[in-house]
Amino acid sequence: MANIKITRTQNSRIGTVDWNNLGFGVYFSDHMFIAEYKNNQWNEGEIMPYGPLPMEPGLCTLHYGQSIFEGLKAFRNVSGGMNIFRPDMNAKRLNHSGSRVCIPAYDIKNNIEAIIELVKVDRDWIPQQRGHSLYIRPVIFGSSNFLGVHSSSEYLLIIMTSPVASYYPEGLNPVKIMVASEYVRAVRGGLGSAKTAANYAASLLASAKAKEQGYAQVLWLDAVTRNFVDEVGAMNIMFVIDNELITPPLVQGTILAGVTRDTVLTLAREWGMKVSERALEIAEVFEANEKGKLQEIFGTGTAAIISPVGQLAYKDKNIIINESKIGPIAQKMYDTITGIQYGEIEDKHGWNIHVDL
């Protein structure tokens, strides 16, 4: 895929952007990348102006949800150019998700190349302000038209980008989270580890009910015993209890293998922290709080980066964590990860793909 065909827009929308109020996923940059899967193979793909797609009502994905997506970010490097953070991880995870819902794999090298070229075309859309970034959203969905339940024979991969501020309006201020007691998100053997549309649809009702009560999101428990912590849906979750950093393991296949999760675990191990990927009962969290040993809770995700949790509600319990202030571990994680992303801190792991602009 050496030379991607590029058709540039004649009507840039960049002048309509309110850079001081970006929100999250509100604005779409001028261009998108599209590749098509037909006759058992992906075509070369091309970059064209972002815009509507022709669609028939029989589009199978509307009926059966055969859709997967990713989220990654590009940052303006403080000494020039831009950094795309760990795109290899996202490209691999896209194929993992696809394998679970019968979507054909997309070449990892081509995926990264398409992202680099797309971001170069829309370089002016990469925000200047520290804390802001260009969110990159690849999505693949079945594009055949039929009503029988089977997988699609044709697919579209679309990569779009969006200049964003923080995911939560709270920014780095702690969010309030409600533990789901009525609904579940994913079961063992289900779709939990795949970034597929269905998981997000499954989360909407509980999230809406939590929001009505003033909570930013829902913390999911495992669907079998409803005792163990899983994830927050838009992010993985981490606990600091008695100086141990604890997060649920990936082995059950019910949670997403987060790129930021991996980044945080890698850094924490390097810093000499005790790190455990282990099953954690929700009761243990509340007991630790009673004993004064619950130091911090924070979410990790590409969109959210690090999101401290200041309040956790579960049934009749409601606790405040670290006086509802960001804790030292969450702060150090945020500073280190964003420092690497913006090119302020040495990228020892080679996590960034640096692109000259």
Q: How many residues bind ligand COI (CB under 6 A)?
A: 5
* Stretch in the footprint of ligand COI (CB under 6 A) among 45-53, 176-184, 211-219, 296-304: 296-304
The single residue listed with the structure tokens 């109020």 is 21
User: What is the b/e burial string over 30-48, where b = at least 16 CB atoms within 10 angstroms of the residue's CB?
Assistant: bbbbbbebeeeebeebbbb
Phi, psi of 89 (to 5 degrees): -65, -40
Q: How far is the CB of 256 from ligand COI (least distance, A)?
A: 8
Q: Which residue is nearest to ligand COI (CB)?
A: 71
- Asked if 302 touches ligand COI (CB under 6 A), the answer is yes
**Pick 156 or 305: Cβ nearer ligand COI:** 305
Q: How far is the CB of 85 from ligand COI (least distance, A)?
A: 11
Q: How far is the CB of 136 from ligand COI (least distance, A)?
A: 9
Per CB under 6 A, the list member of 248, 301, 308, 310 interacting with ligand COI is: 301
**Pick 31 or 93: Cβ nearer ligand COI:** 93
- Asked if 221 touches ligand COI (CB under 6 A), the answer is no
- Contacts (CB under 6 A) with ligand COI, residues 227-246: 234
Instruction: For residue 210, count other CB atoms closer than 10 A to its CB.
Output: 21
How far, CA to CA in Å, does 321 sit from each of 84, 173, 216, 287? 33, 12, 15, 13
- Measure the CA–CA gap between 90 and 87, rounded to whole angstroms: 5
Residue closest to 28 by CA, chosen among 182, 161, 137: 161
Question: Residues 6 or more apart from 204 whose CB is under 8 A from it?
Answer: none
Largest CA-CA distance found in the chain, in angstroms, rounded: 63
- Contacts (CB under 6 A) with ligand COI, residues 56-75: 71
Per CB under 6 A, the list member of 68, 202, 303, 333 interacting with ligand COI is: 303
Q: How far is the CB of 68 from ligand COI (least distance, A)?
A: 11
Binding stretches for ligand COI (CB under 6 A)? 71, 234, 301-303
